[in-house]
Amino acid sequence: MSSNGQYVAGNVQNKAVRFDTSGQTEFLGSLVANQDSFGLGISGDGGTVVGYGRTDGGDRPFKWTSGTGMVQLPTIGGTVNSGAAIHVSIDSSTIVGWSSGPLEQQAVYWNQLGLPPIGTLSATDTRSLALGVSGNRDLIVGWSGTAQQHRAFIWDQQNGMRNLKKVLIKDFGFAIGGWTFEEATAISADGMTMTGFGINPQGQREAWVAHVPVPGAWPVLALCGLIGSRRRRV
């Protein structure tokens, strides 16, 4: 959804669209004629939509604007040349998602400098996925792992990819030792609130929202149960 709530990206009958509050639905086209496309993210002003489209060679990431139409984004390449653009920064300058390459899926971001890969948390991880980017484009969140196990990450240029749970415990004093943070799915524009899901100390899958404190404040983790409607704070 755009910052003012006017536009939403999505798809209708497997075609990428942009909805607006006036009730209009704008079809954004396809990378290949008569093939499916899916809108996944939208910029702050609603002018840029990102997602992926089907091609004969696999799924390919795209960026759409009213001026350029749907344009395919580059991928790293490899045996299977595919990818998806999942989220775009408020100012539309940075797009995050994944691309095939040496790994099955590799977290990447697209900007004016190209397609820098973000890497993985461990050398044994076979895939990673970038799902959110902060407003100033400095922080990226997502997950890294294998087909069987994921861990949430946070990435920045200086520190690279780090285990999000470890960062919250070490740097901000979160008492979340019994948790497994599987995925970080979004980050706020100011970079101080993140959300995702994982396994709680009772072994249940549960959504979480982590509010990183300003200096002198207490850290807060809001937990939103995916089974039932309970909400509690720790």
Q: Sketch the domain layout of the chain as residue ranges.
A: 73-233
Average pLDDT score over residue span 137-159: 95
- Contact predicate 162/182, CB 8 Å: no
pLDDT higher than 50, residue 227: no
pLDDT higher than 80, residue 90: yes
Cα–Cα distance for residue pair 28/134, rounded to 1 Å: 25
Q: How far is CA 226 from CA 34, 180, 199, in A?
A: 37, 15, 11
Average pLDDT score over residue span 148-161: 95
Cα–Cα distance for residue pair 173/221, rounded to 1 Å: 11
| pTM metric for this prediction | 0.89
- The pLDDT value given to residue 113: 78
Q: Which residues touch 14 (CB under 8 Å, ≥6 apart)?
A: 36, 37, 38
pLDDT higher than 50, residue 229: no
In order, the DSSP letters of 135-190 are TTS--EEEEEE-SS-EEEEEEETTTEEEEHHHHHHHHH----TT-EEEEEEEE-TT
- The pLDDT value given to residue 40: 98
Calculate Rg over the CA atoms of the chain: 18
Average pLDDT, the chain: 89
